Amino acid sequence: MKKAIVLGATGGMGSALVNELVDRGIAVTAFARNKNRLEKMFGHHEQIQVITGDVFNLKQLTDAVENMDVIFHAVNIPYQEWAEKQPLLMANILKSAKKTGAKLALVDNIYAYGRSEGLPIDENHEKNPHTKKGKIRLRLEQMAKEAEVPLFIAHFPDFYGPNGNSLLNYTFENMVKNKRAMFIGNQELAREYIYIPDGAKAMVELALRNRFEGENWNITGSGVITGKEIIDIAREYLGYTKRVSTAGIYVFRFLGIFDKFMSECKEMLYLTEEAVTLDGKKYEKAMGLLPKTSYEKGIEITLKSFDASYF
């Protein structure tokens, strides 16, 4: 891999992938819609080419992908647009890859796995999603594997980290601002999270080793941790003394009356009340140890990444 393009380069995983590829000496193209954000994040770096474009415009996408060895798909779409736009997005990416001969590295979550019954899920676990968004993720996976494009799919638990758009980052941001903060879900439940740059390292390693055999790879985090433990780590670093309240299904049902995004979040709240964890043995057997930043270090870096004026 000498040249790579990251779609959704200004997002949490997208920007982490750009940075990791640059660190590995790969010529990177950062592709996203927001020109100002792209320029602010990457315009100063000689190794990064910045292209503003729309992934739903097939010509713009195909032109950007031309001469690339690997496409990293890290585009985020609001939940309320998933049913309509996710299949169109995947179709465009697959068409661009086929036309240009590029390989695909796909960022995915755990939604398609459905419930785990308390056991760690490996890549052979039957996908039986019970939510609309889980079924959409499974459909996208089927589209990709039927397209006869060299690819791999990386499954991640919930993200947190610099530039992340995640539930944990939402909690952290309010704590950094010394505002009242909410934690989404049961604070006593031990769950798995992944520090975004660790996920990017694992994906880039798969690409560098040319693991485009159409397989799924579980990328695990640094073990399980309760919401209370996360809050305590952030409290100690920030000196935060306010109570952190819990937001559950009833809060989202009420907010969903006024907000489509909150309404769409409701069905995924089972992940905040049931521990769904991944088994990463396949990766570690084939590739070596997964990158695992401790929660203490990852949370500290994440908190520091917010605007310095908050401190």
Amino acid at 10: T
pLDDT exceeds 80 at position 274: yes
The total number of structural domains in the chain stands at: 1
d(CA 201, CA 189): 28
pLDDT exceeds 70 at position 262: no
User: What are the tokens at 226?
Assistant: 């309760």
Backbone φ and ψ for 108, nearest 5 degrees, come out as -135, 165
The confidence score (pLDDT) of residue 172 equals: 95
Long-range contacts of 111-117 (CB under 8 A, 24+ apart): 111/136, 111/137, 111/268, 112/137, 112/138, 112/141, 113/155, 113/276, 115/270, 115/274, 115/276, 116/274, 116/275, 116/276, 116/277
Residue 28 lies in a domain: yes
Average pLDDT over residues 39-52: 92
Name the more confident of 246 and 296. 296
Residue 180 lies in a domain: no
pLDDT in tens, 121-152: 999 999 999 999 999 999 999 999 999 999 99
Average pLDDT over residues 245-268: 60
d(CA 235, CA 229): 10
Residue 268 lies in a domain: no
Band (pLDDT 50/70/90 cuts) for residue 116 is confident
- Give yes or no for a contact between 88 and 102, defined as CB atoms under 8 angstroms apart: no
Q: Rounded to an integer, what is the distance from CA 283 to the centroid of its chain?
A: 18
Q: Kindly report the pTM of this predicted structure.
A: 0.93
Nearest to 219 by CA among 127, 135, 291, 152: 291
Band (pLDDT 50/70/90 cuts) for residue 257 is very low
Residue 46 lies in a domain: yes
The confidence score (pLDDT) of residue 185 equals: 86
Residue 107's SS3 state is strand
- Give yes or no for a contact between 217 and 153, defined as CB atoms under 8 angstroms apart: yes
User: What are the tokens at 269?
Assistant: 């709240």
3-state helix, strand, coil in the chain (%, to 5): 45, 20, 35
pLDDT exceeds 70 at position 309: no
pLDDT exceeds 80 at position 101: yes
List the CATH number of the domain containing 100. 3.40.50.720
Q: Name the H helices within the chain.
A: 12-23, 35-42, 58-65, 82-100, 132-146, 167-176, 196-208, 227-238, 249-256, 260-265, 281-287, 295-305
d(CA 53, CA 200): 23
Q: Which of 158-167, 178-187, 239-248, 302-311 is least confident?
A: 302-311
The confidence score (pLDDT) of residue 254 equals: 43
Residue 65 lies in a domain: yes
Give the relative orientation of helices 167-176 and 227-238 as an angle to the nearest 10 degrees.
Answer: 30
**Residues 6 or more apart from 66 whose CB is under 8 A from it?**
100
The confidence score (pLDDT) of residue 103 equals: 98
Give the sign of the dihedral formed by CA 238, CA 243, CA 248, CA 254.
negative
- Give yes or no for a contact between 168 and 12, defined as CB atoms under 8 angstroms apart: no
Half-sphere exposure for 264 (CA within 13 Å, toward CB): 13
Residue 60 lies in a domain: yes
The confidence score (pLDDT) of residue 249 equals: 57
Domain span holding position 33: 3-165+193-223+276-293
d(CA 119, CA 71): 33
Mean pLDDT (the chain) is 91
Residue 249 lies in a domain: no
